[in-house]
Amino acid sequence: MIDLLGYPFMQRALIAAFVTGLAAPVIGTYLVQRRLALLGDGLGHVAVTGVALGLLTGFAPTWTAVVVAVLGAIAIEVIRERGSTSGDLALALLFYGGLAGGVMITGLAGQSAAKLQQYLFGSITAISVTDVWFTIGLAALILLLGVGLLPQLFTVAQDQDFAKVAGLDVRAYNLLVAVLAAVTVTIAMRTVGLLLVSALMIVPVAASQQLARSFRATLGGAVVVGAGAGVGGLLLAGWISVRHDASVAPGPTIVLLALACFVATWPVGAWLRHRDRLRQPFPAGAVAPLEATDHDDHDHGPACGHLAVPHDDHVDYVHDGHRHARHGEHYDEH
Amino acid sequence: MSTTSPVVELRDGAVAIAGRPILRHVDLTVRPGEFLTLLGPNGSGKSTLVRALTGLRPLTLGSLSLFGTPIAEFRDHHRLGFVPQRASAASGVPASVAEVVASGRLTRRRLLRPAGRADRAAVTSALELVGLADRARDSVATLSGGQQQRVLIARALAGEPELFFLDEPTAGVDLPNQRALAEALGTLSSTGSTIVLVTHELGPLAPLVDRTVVLRDGRIVYDGAPLQLDDAHGHHHPDPRRTDHHPGVVAPLDRTGEDADW
């Protein structure tokens, strides 16, 4: 295990997995907030075409993937804004167009399927020093914008009409999120592969929002889960590969580890939500009070036989399916 | 700007959506400190009018000025508070009540600067005004619909605006929450804020209103003193069987023990 860490390729891979795990969930949080969890997937498929164009033209596939994914992101945002096609239909069009285009162009380029496979499922252990710097640079950009503009991006995703009246340029912020998602896709492409890109953006958010009550906590938790799964998954894959002399790909291991975090937090989250609902069983404040006409026979008290429920500074009595609280000459409904 | 000049001035306003006229020949002037309510049946153009007044819906004809500035040149967004028509303050990711309210403060914050002391104080006092200060750290999704509407109002309050537009804040809100809402709006109105409220039912808000505008088919058909629409409920002891504003629309099976006397 320690030997494994001594290899330069492993060190590079660890750095790449860590910064990707940090950056991807930041944008993922905004996508989940806008209920666009699958946008990353759509952009991943579009990036396949970008990679294939790189293979065809001889440019670095990473750069052509960035360009094509950004163009795809802008296209989907424009389609959504015009409202001529619904968001999920536009996504579906991207999905299929991107994947089919990528496979076809790779064939035209005469490249073997194995070359494309590197990008589809990740090749983090083959990452070069230049690629590591490229990943760090883009991840820093995503973190800077995603965290620095948090109040604005949060408001726009939460309520577009309100954001517009507040004077925010809603279209610019929407485009920014889409473009950053495209950039995230291309940096995560080396780590987990284009087909699993979205998982690194979305699954950590799904795990952390089980326990979080606030947006900032969700985002922070997702970053921790993302970075932890990135590093942990890579080490786990390395350890299994060495131990059992198998070749376990790091990408799927990272995604499965993130999913395991979700599976672990979900029951806790379900219990927490259940407890929160129990905390306030009745709305605060009195509902229309009833005259105490049907209480001539007795006053509510410890011995009257009606169930006593402590409520703030007084005691309510359950009476015919209502909760009665004495208020002067009558009982209020609580 | 003199204090008597109107805060909203719409002249011969018209709005068409996809070629279909929604509002026609609407003249509306709102003066500082007024509490104005827009009434009218569904589809009469109330929401469209409010969206036009906030600049969300462009006018196809006519001219609109806010605080004496034509809408196209209006940049003082912090003077506007908007409570859009929506059922919930929640979204796909948990957000705390304080975070949602803090987003109303953006009109007074600069890019890439952390929230200052004044920002936090404004959020706290907005939450206190709507009576939800104790829920600040809770997730909005755990609040009832009425409490979420109060959060949306607190969000508009946080920017400390002078002019409020509220689009159906009482829709689907239970009576205790409507009362809490009315109390908050009453405080606001008494401090000199101008309020434009779209609503179906006034309920506990009725005593606050000083002017009513009624729309029908995209035109203003009444503009004047508040109408006596229904008996003033909201008193401490209303008839418990009659809190519905549409007497004919209750589920008969809910009240099997009662005589249906409508």
Q: Assess B98–A contact: CB distance below 8 Å, yes or no.
A: yes
B158 in a domain, yes or no?
Answer: yes
Chain A positions in Cβ-Cβ contact with residue B169 (cut-off 8 Å):
none
Q: Give the least confident one: A105-114, A152-161, B125-134, B147-156.
A: A105-114
- CA-to-CA distance for B186 and A184, rounded, in angstroms? 48
pLDDT of residue A59 exceeding 90: no
Band of residue A14 on the pLDDT scale cut at 50, 70, 90? very high
pLDDT tens by residue, A130-143:
889 989 999 999 99
Q: What is the ipTM metric for this complex? A: 0.83
Please report, for residues A38, A211, A279, B89, B121, the alpha-carbon distance to residue A270 in angstroms, rounded to integers and kept in the order given.
24, 9, 14, 21, 33
Task: Please name the residue of chain B whose CA is at the shortest distance from the CA of residue A205.
Answer: B93
Band of residue A116 on the pLDDT scale cut at 50, 70, 90? confident
* DSSP assignment letter at B197: E
Crossing angle between the packed helical segments A197-208 and A215-244, to the nearest 10 degrees: 120
pLDDT, position A84 = 61
Locate all alpha helices (DSSP H) within B58-159, ordered by sequence: 97-102, 117-129, 145-158
| Mean pLDDT of the residues in chain B | 83
B244 in a domain, yes or no?
Answer: no
- CA-to-CA distance for B78 and A165, rounded, in angstroms? 9
| Of A98, A102, A43, the residue nearest A73 (C-alpha) | A43
pLDDT, position A179 = 93
Band of residue B212 on the pLDDT scale cut at 50, 70, 90? very high
Chain A positions in Cβ-Cβ contact with residue B100 (cut-off 8 Å):
158
Q: What is the mean pLDDT of residues B182-209?
A: 90
pLDDT tens by residue, B79-98:
999 999 887 888 889 999 99
Band of residue B121 on the pLDDT scale cut at 50, 70, 90? very high
pLDDT of residue A291 exceeding 80: no
Chain B positions in Cβ-Cβ contact with residue A286 (cut-off 8 Å):
176
Contact residues, B window 212-241, toward A, CB-based 8 Å cutoff: 236-238, 240
pLDDT of residue B243 exceeding 60: no
Contact B93 A152 (CB under 8 A): no
pLDDT of residue B230 exceeding 50: no
Contact A152 B111 (CB under 8 A): yes
pLDDT, position A279 = 67
The residue that leads in pLDDT, B246 or A262, is: A262
Crossing angle between the packed helical segments A39-57 and A61-82, to the nearest 10 degrees: 140
Range of the structural domain that residue B206 is part of? 8-229
B235 in a domain, yes or no?
Answer: no
* Residue pairs between chains A and B whose CB atoms are closer than 8 Å: 122
Contact A165 B100 (CB under 8 A): no
Q: Work out the minimum CA distance from B225 to partner chain A, whole angstroms.
A: 29
Band of residue B260 on the pLDDT scale cut at 50, 70, 90? very low
B254 in a domain, yes or no?
Answer: no
pLDDT of residue A287 exceeding 70: no
pLDDT tens by residue, A254-276:
999 999 999 999 999 999 888 87
Domain count, chain B: 1
For chain A, domains (ranges, CATH) are 2-275 (1.10.3470.10), 293-333 (no CATH)
- CA-to-CA distance for A179 and A74, rounded, in angstroms? 7
Q: What is the mean pLDDT of residues B100-125?
A: 89
Band of residue A117 on the pLDDT scale cut at 50, 70, 90? confident
Q: What is the dihedral of CA A200, A237, A15, A251, to 10 degrees?
A: -30
Query: Measured on CA atoms in the order B226, B230, B232, B233, is the torsion positive or negative?
Result: negative
Interface of chain A toward chain B, CB-CB under 8 angstroms: 29, 32-35, 37, 148-149, 151-152, 154-155, 157-159, 161-168, 205, 209, 212-218, 273, 276-277, 283-291
pLDDT of residue A296 exceeding 60: no
- Assign residue B90 the CATH number of its domain: 3.40.50.300
Among candidates B107, B109, B175 on the partner chain, residue whose Cβ is nearest the Cβ of A288: B175
pLDDT tens by residue, B15-68:
998 888 899 999 999 999 999 999 988 888 999 999 999 999 999 999 999 999
Please report, for residues A206, A264, A266, A310, B88, the alpha-carbon distance to residue A275 in angstroms, rounded to integers and kept in the order given.
20, 18, 14, 18, 21
Contact A213 B98 (CB under 8 A): no
Using CB atoms within 10 A of its CB, is residue B138 exposed (0-12), middle (13-18) or buried (19+)? buried
pLDDT, position A294 = 52
Quote the tokens at residue B81: 């508070």
pLDDT, position A69 = 93
pLDDT tens by residue, A184-225:
998 888 888 888 888 999 999 999 999 999 999 999 999 999
pLDDT of residue B123 exceeding 90: yes
Band of residue B251 on the pLDDT scale cut at 50, 70, 90? very low
pLDDT of residue A286 exceeding 60: no
Chain B positions in Cβ-Cβ contact with residue A153 (cut-off 8 Å):
none
B161 in a domain, yes or no?
Answer: yes
Q: Work out the minimum CA distance from B29 to partner chain A, whole angstroms.
A: 20
Q: What is the mean pLDDT of residues B184-206?
A: 89
Band of residue A282 on the pLDDT scale cut at 50, 70, 90? low
Contact predicate A229/A155, CB 8 Å: no
pLDDT of residue B1 exceeding 70: no
Contact A158 B103 (CB under 8 A): yes
Band of residue A318 on the pLDDT scale cut at 50, 70, 90? confident
Q: Render B170-193 in DSSP notation, one character per residue.
A: TTT--HHHHHHHHHHHHHHHHTT-
